Amino acid sequence: MIVGVSLKMYFSHARTVAWVEEVAAILAGHPVREAVTALVIPQFPSIPACLDAAGDLAVGAQDVATDDAGAFTGEVSAAVLAELGCRFVEVGHAERRRMFGDTDEVVAAKVHAAVRNGITPILCVGEEERLEPADAAEVCIRQIRSGLSAASAAGIVGDLVIAYEPLWAIGAPEPAHPDHIRGVCAVLRRHLTDVPGQTSVIYGGSARPGLLTQIADSVDGLFLGRFVHESSAVRDILDEVGALSA
């Protein structure tokens, strides 16, 4: 089970490190610590300090450059992220696409950069408007195929996490309805059986404590944001994992 948290740009550096320390302590003392892959994705400057404080928490990055080295001012390469110890990188989030112009081609190049450097991409997919689950799943499958195209063409196989985040649910008061999530993610998991490497499907988009219990039969975890800014909320989700496996 994956429990991932993107801190986006909400916290200061000091608050980020304190949050990671709190969650690392919660994870270290929790009975399900060996049954989950718990990960945090902070801002770039906080990554080294988070790696030092993370304990059993994996650390990832919120974005990555398409190239490994060169004259790309302001970019951060997957090679350097891997050198630091990052295990995951978020690619293709709706905010990156909308605000910073990440096209399908750019997303595919970033996925390629991650896997060729041994980092697991968290590829974000989701439909813009509310659709029936089957139609939403088809949109997501097209995005997955596009996102994997450059790595596939290069013959590179790596692990992959798909974060299903319907755009209309990002930042909303509530997540998508559990029936909708289950309908879409069940199709995505079936599709990924034909994709080489270890694959997982997690749900994001206003995910919060209490949701996993309702969708656990169709997902491999949650991708969380503002609803776990209090570290105690992570303990609540770990408790859910424990109850589901009891």
- Catalytic positions are 93, 165
**Which three-class secondary structure state does DSSP give residue 21?**
helix
Query: What distance in Å separates the CA atoms of residue 185 and residue 148, rounded to the nearest whole number?
Result: 18
The answer to whether 23 and 38 are in contact (CB under 8 A) is yes
CA atoms within 13 A on the CB side of 85: 16
The answer to whether 215 and 179 are in contact (CB under 8 A) is no
The crossing angle, in degrees rounded to 10, of helices 133-153 and 104-116 is 60
Q: How far apart are the first and last CA of the chain?
A: 14
Residue whose C-alpha is closest to residue 42's, from 24, 60, 56, 15: 60
Beta pairing class for 37-41 and 199-203: unpaired
Element (H, E) at 91: strand 88-91
